Amino acid sequence: MKKITKKLLSIGIIIITAVGAVCGAIAYGLLYMPNFKLSETKYVYIYEDHKDFDALCEELRDSAGCRHIDLFRILAGFREYPGNMKSGRFAVEPDMNNHTLLNRLRRGQQTPVRLTFNNIRLLGDLTARLSDQLMIEEDDLLSRLGDDEYSESLGFNAATIKAMFIPNTYEVYWNISADKLIERMKREYDAFWNENRLAKAGELRMSPVEVSILASVVEEETTVPDEYPVVAGLYINRLRRGMPLQADPTVKYAVGDFSLRRILNKHLEVESPYNTYLHEGLPPGPIRVPSVKGIDAVLNYTKHNYLYMCAKEDFSGRHNFAVTLSEHNRNADKYRAELNRRGIR
């Protein structure tokens, strides 16, 4: 009888050990076995107003190379994750395991977005570019930035608010709110306008916003960065003499047609505060979001006597500069002749 009892006990121990080993293997698989077959890091997105666990599982399976979505579901259930989802942009890395990913998701441990924006003309273009990269709705940004009262609380108005956005690469969380993003851009703007730049703007007798407005005109006038300081110097000469800027890009902005290749007399007559042929001084706001290079070109403009400029007739994107009107007219005649020869109307 004792032998049978010992035998049964031994068998029981073996069974328990085997069951324990199986359970341990299952637990290990749930927690630590690589479950995401990827060649590079992928990102999954969870929206604040659409925290759908099933949708997340589909995204993990279809886009993030999840090998065994059922194992992920089981562990997520054990850890009560489906009812405690956080919004954000989360990285799924090659051979990541369920345990690591769930920790990241539960803690809201996001990977920041590298936010960029450049070559922006209109406020709507800016808000669309930002919205494309973040969870923010475009209308939420536009309703704020296009509102004079809101913009004035930041030291701008609806026409000048674009100047607050300094093109660069910024790391922000994907689910940042519209207000927090704008606050961040204001801090970056204040940091950009350091003591040195403010001093140079003061020497020009311009505010930072006015410098940005002029920089926007300079950048639209020439596509050749090494001409920026020369063009800036020309416009500063005109401003100091009380001459209208007569900048063709401001006319395109006033007309609302940036594809114009030839500015005609009818375009020069368009009534708009942005038409610098009709109105002296700077336009009321930037005609694009100026780059750091453009702003610094104004602050460090080239000192010369040029008052006139005309695109070169070789269509290189460069300009012929002139001190006198007669010299400018000769340059303009050459350019018009080439326009006619090419059939550009």
Residue 146 pLDDT grade (very low, low, confident, very high; cuts 50, 70, 90): very high
Helical packing angle, 292-299 and 228-240, nearest 10°: 50
pLDDT (0 to 100) of residue 260: 85
What is the rounded average pLDDT for all residues in the chain? Answer: 90
Q: Residues 192-240: pLDDT tens digits?
A: 999 999 999 999 999 999 999 999 999 999 989 999 999 999 999 999 9
- Please report the pLDDT score of residue 321 as a whole number: 95
Residues 88-130 have pLDDT tens digits of 999 999 999 999 999 999 999 999 999 999 999 999 999 999 9
Please give the model's pTM, rounded to 2 decimal places: 0.85
Mean pLDDT in residue range 141-150: 94
Q: What is the pLDDT of residue 32?
A: 59
Burial class (CB in 10 A: 0-12, 13-18, 19+), 298: buried
Query: What pLDDT score was predicted for residue 291?
Result: 97
pLDDT at site 315: 86
CA distances (Å), origin 294, targets 44, 123, 166, 230: 37, 19, 11, 11
Give the residue carrying structure tokens 């012929």: 320
Cβ-in-10-Å burial (0-12, 13-18, 19+) of 217 comes to buried
